[in-house]
Structure 1
């Protein structure tokens, strides 16, 4: 199914796929929902995005799909979604409100360099919509109006102001809907990105050892397998497992290398090639860095343990 699902890097690119046109010069947009889809009902194909979306829906009816979940959109809906998921939507009647999109790079440039520390819900994997009371919803509706006004302005401080208003928006989302969110707690219950990464890691090493692959996958390979930006993917794995992607790859590589050195009679060079290294010297340096012994010394130490001197 994933081969037929396109990933869009901006809402203008997504909208163009539906035959529309949106101007966009930075990785932030805000539009009135009622201006985007003149004809109803509307049903989108499935797609992925590499940006965040906040939907502030004052009025209207529809349905939003994310992975295998379906959520109702109705009056006074606030919906947040992050990159990477398979998405789709159905709109049954005119939507009124705002749709806001922004990228990780925009957040780091205009909001905060360590954005995930301040707003950990940005890596949440489960984000159902919220249906706040009208008084609470009005806060978000007003913020949408302020953001749109600034977005349409010619101010020299336009994006700095938008960055400040985005901070307020994220703080209000955190305060009202994600105050107690802890990515590590979510990881203990359900973390699709983490679980998929671990499965892909195991599958890749099976392919290496079966000579179905001749190179060791890096962060970008595992991120691409889930249609995620490498920075975002790395952040999710680090937050939810306590270890970086490179640490997972290194630990798995060392574990397989130890097993081959202990169980097989292959040379160090042959083992290096089986594990995706281009040359034995690179493998030896990598192994010694993590173990403190060269591969040959490690193998000899095993022999001395199993065959002690009389």
Structure 2
């Protein structure tokens, strides 16, 4: 059985990369200092961000391969696995920011960390930086490292976590820019999503699968659920769930005019397990129950 190398502590990851441990809960790791090592699957019990500054070969994450290019950031939440097992060796390059969830206890970042959806994006949804953006990211790393090299005092934790939060906020901004600059690609995904929903509700899938979830649709688009949701929100102003529900209502309105079908039959055709759930959603969105809508139109 393939072995996964699991790093539970920041110090373990530092040792793995020939890096001095300056703080037990956070480190800026210079990967070029590590010895050449064999490709293998790695798991981190802490947040991990890689900044790859040169092309350094394929890494496998989930079912996706990704070829890192210069100025690319990838984010991993605690517990995620990355890498692939090969009988080959490589020299790590770039910089990694790693921090344990315990670092955030009692800070504003602890309350906001789940808002950074990019920690659950797939590798092929990485953040590609411009030269100017890369300089800003490196400046954030330098500020964090500066604090780590100072003697710990009463200001240390606040300044370290504030700089981590600043870094994450810049990444949030840069992802917004990436969604905009890849607008043509995003519109292609939106068009595929619309076509997928149209095909879904004219097939037998509502009977066999039920209502399409956001995760199911994202998988069909070959995207992670969070990236897909963020993309739809930025393109349409609606959440992916709202978009799906709007499609359900549009299809339902057309079906309601077929007086040979009962409201319950229409609900089952759309994928609802219980007709009352359909009635509740329809009234919430349209302002009338399906029967009322049928009678006034």
TM-score under structure 1 normalisation? 0.58
State whether residues 62 and 72 of structure 1, in contact with CA within 8 Å, keep that contact through their aligned partners in structure 2: yes
Structure 2 residue 161 is matched with structure 1 residue 163? yes
Query: 2:68 maps to what in 1?
Result: 71
Q: How does 1:8-27 map to 2 (within 5 A)?
A: 18-23=4-9
Structure 2 residue 211 is matched with structure 1 residue 211? no
State whether residues 26 and 97 of structure 2, in contact with CA within 8 Å, keep that contact through their aligned partners in structure 1: yes
Q: Distance in 2 between matches of 1:238 and 1:135?
A: 29
Structure 2 residue 139 is matched with structure 1 residue 139? yes
Distance 1:64 1:145, change over 3 A: farther
State whether residues 267 and 275 of structure 2, in contact with CA within 8 Å, keep that contact through their aligned partners in structure 1: yes
Match of 2:97, SS? strand
Q: How does 1:1-310 map to 2 (within 5 A)?
A: 18-23=4-9, 30=27, 32-34=29-31, 38-40=35-37, 42-44=38-40, 53-55=49-51, 62-63=56-57, 70-72=67-69, 78-82=71-75, 92-95=90-93, 98-101=95-98, 109-110=108-109, 113=112, 125=125, 127-128=127-128, 139=139, 142-143=142-143, 145-146=145-146, 149=149, 160-170=158-168, 178=174, 181=177, 183=179, 185-186=180-181, 188-191=183-186, 198=194, 201-202=197-198, 204-207=200-203, 211-213=207-209, 215-219=210-214, 221-222=216-217, 228=224, 233-263=228-258, 265-302=260-297
Q: Distance in 2 between matches of 1:146 and 1:135?
A: 16
Query: 1:5 maps to what in 2?
Result: none
Q: RMSD between aligned alpha carbons?
A: 5.3
Match of 1:249, SS? helix
Query: 1:6 maps to what in 2?
Result: none
Structure 2 unaligned regions, length at least 5: 11-24
The number of equivalent residue pairs is 262
TM-score under structure 2 normalisation? 0.60
